[in-house]
Amino acid sequence: KPMTFPCYRWLIGDIKLEIREGTAKTLKDDSSPQLLTHRKAELQERKSAYRWVTWAPGIPRCIDAKTEADLPQDVRFDNEKRSDFEHSLHYALLELSLKKLAIKFGKSWNDLEDFKRIFWKLRSPVAEYCMEHWRDDWFFGYQCMNGSNPRMIQRCKKLPENFPITANMVQSSMSPRTHLDRELKAGNIYLLDYAITDGIPTNTIRGTRQHIAAPLCLLYQHPDQGLIPVAIQLEQTPGLDTPIFLPTDPPLTWLLAKMWVRHSEFQVFQLLSHLLRTHLVIEVFCVATLRQLPAVHPVYKLLAPHLRYTLEINCRGRTQLISDNGIFKRVVSTGGEGLLVLSQREYQVLTYRSLQPRYDFTDRGVTRLDKYHYREHSLLLWDAIHRFVSGVVDLYYLSDQDVEEDLELQAWIRDITQEGFTELPNFGLSSKLSSREEVYTLLSVVIFISTAQHAATNNGQFDWCAWVPNTPCTMRHPPPTDKDAVTMEMIMDTLPDVSQSCVQMAITWHLGRAQPDAIPLGQYTEEHFTEGRAQQVIDRFRMELKEIEEHIRSENEGAELQYLYLLPSRIENSITI
């Protein structure tokens, strides 16, 4: 097994012996001039191997590599990973293209049941459950909390001015003993607002314009039914052509309105929650760590296992997924210019605070949302990660002053804030680290996002997107304007065609399936830390993860629909897919 992040190669002669023990050292701990020279030489070499580049303006900067082939060998996939990645994709695409041929190319489906014709073999229990229940309102609400994009739902204290709902409209979703105003005050009303997709340039696929709406959806935490959608408006500006859709509308009308919400959800989920807020954010830390911290540095040792393979998967994403002729351009409504505009909008409002789960939940006002498993598991994991990180940091930094005086660590945070997250005045991460507390939080963010948060967004994508009508990647007709004019034919002409559906199935399966060579959270196979004190902290972390594992297991036992994305054994130690 090749070492991804080598520790020892810089060290020669008697010095090599000392370091082979693996004792982590900050700059101050390394006293001999010889060692200091090596530290410097290592960093010089690394800075020339790993350089920043602006792939596109207005999003995080990334590694300077045109394709994965330009990356240094140390950060490339190993043979097993590469062949598995390439084979799995070909397998999925081949399987589906055979079906595609058997059906008909580039055409609409006839009926919702038709999607079953490609829904075969590449299955999962949740995907199947989804296929059976995707029309149900409770299932729609459930997905806002425990689907692939659990960060969109927010509490609604006051109705938005551009969403003119009256109490009357939603009364039928509530018991006669209560009404909208009372439920707003009680904290039982929630909102999905896709304003960010308003006016995004749309893709043209084989000559056909695709469409994007900007929905608003009001939800009610019903005492018996759980979280259910009660009103949907598909554009941000109210008007005669943008009716407010209700569960009491003709069934197909309400269904189509929900599909439009879920189509915006696909875009926000994949591009913002997944790509931008996990992959691209973590790449910044990856590049800065490789450039600024020598392999003996404790922060390097702590982070390296959480940064494995991220540069390569991101390079592949940039060349094959979001490039001018990539997968998005071929089948997704935001393909082309749209995906960049959307990402730039999100980047403008991205905050360091929102990357910390506790703040994320309080700021969205969702601390009292019922059966929000993602929130519960996230907090357990965050706390375990935070205890682990502070345990490690305390071994090498005895005071806040030690933090302030670590010149390598200060160069690292400057690289992150000034070279990585550029053009981002409101990000809220200072370019100077002044206390141990700040270091705990920052390193916990990096580990939490590269493990738990990525698992929560990535690993369910086949479950929630394989049944294409549940989360369509594109819409081929504009949103409905007349509640009484919605037909099955119109729905079929709107949803992704046969070919687009096949690609959506293939790619989400390819990315969402368990990785055969996965290293789970907390398994440190390369033994960066060898000193006993550090091993103890690692062991305690593993024990806590085991407890979380058992807790989640028993909580899910016998449940018809299980939430297992944050099961520690299913969380990868880094973003590798």
Q: Which residues bind ligand OYP (CB under 6 A)?
A: 89, 270, 274-275, 279, 313-314, 316-317, 320-321, 327, 331-332, 473, 503-504, 507-508, 511
Name which of 304 and 332 has its Cβ closer to ligand OYP: 332
Q: How far is CA 441 from CA 196, 249, 397, 444, 449, in A?
A: 29, 48, 15, 5, 12
Q: How far apart are CA 436 and CA 393, in angstroms?
A: 7
Name which of 149 and 441 has its Cβ closer to ligand OYP: 149
Query: Is-contact 297 25, C-beta < 8 A?
Result: yes
Q: How far apart are CA 19 and CA 557, in angstroms?
A: 47
344 contacts: CB under 8 Å, gap ≥ 6: 57, 58, 59
Q: How far apart are CA 574 and CA 577, in angstroms?
A: 9
Q: How far is CA 460 from CA 41, 318, 345, in A?
A: 43, 22, 25
CB of 289 to ligand OYP, least distance (A): 19
- H or E segment at 220? strand 216-222
CB of 71 to ligand OYP, least distance (A): 14
Which residue's Cβ has the minimum distance to ligand OYP?
Answer: 317
Q: How far apart are CA 493 and CA 473, in angstroms?
A: 14
Q: How far is CA 335 from CA 20, 110, 260, 354, in A?
A: 49, 25, 17, 26
CB of 257 to ligand OYP, least distance (A): 22
Name which of 109 and 524 has its Cβ closer to ligand OYP: 109
CB of 260 to ligand OYP, least distance (A): 17
CB of 214 to ligand OYP, least distance (A): 20
**Residue 136, amino acid:** D
Name which of 236 and 267 has its Cβ closer to ligand OYP: 267
Query: Is-contact 219 159, C-beta < 8 A?
Result: no
Could you tell me which residues are beta bridge partners of residue 216?
193, 233
Name which of 119 and 190 has its Cβ closer to ligand OYP: 119
Query: Is-contact 509 94, C-beta < 8 A?
Result: no
The encoded tokens of residue 459 equal: 């690993």
Question: Is the Cα dihedral 302, 312, 85, 151 positive or negative?
Answer: positive
CB of 201 to ligand OYP, least distance (A): 18
Q: How far apart are CA 306 and CA 565, in angstroms?
A: 18
Name which of 298 and 512 has its Cβ closer to ligand OYP: 512
Give φ, ψ of 255 to 5 degrees: -60, -45
Name which of 473 and 567 has its Cβ closer to ligand OYP: 473
Question: Is the Cα dihedral 219, 211, 130, 562 positive or negative?
Answer: negative
CB of 462 to ligand OYP, least distance (A): 10
Name which of 321 and 424 has its Cβ closer to ligand OYP: 321
CB of 564 to ligand OYP, least distance (A): 21
Question: Is the Cα dihedral 563, 566, 568, 574 positive or negative?
Answer: positive
Name which of 280 and 389 has its Cβ closer to ligand OYP: 280
CB of 9 to ligand OYP, least distance (A): 29
Q: How far apart are CA 17 and CA 8, in angstroms?
A: 10
Q: How far apart are CA 475 and CA 493, in angstroms?
A: 9
∠286-291-295 over CA atoms, to 5°? Answer: 85
Question: Is the Cα dihedral 36, 38, 42, 45 positive or negative?
Answer: positive
Name which of 180 and 339 has its Cβ closer to ligand OYP: 339
CB of 500 to ligand OYP, least distance (A): 7
Name which of 318 and 386 has its Cβ closer to ligand OYP: 318
CB of 508 to ligand OYP, least distance (A): 6
Name which of 231 and 321 has its Cβ closer to ligand OYP: 321
CB of 66 to ligand OYP, least distance (A): 15
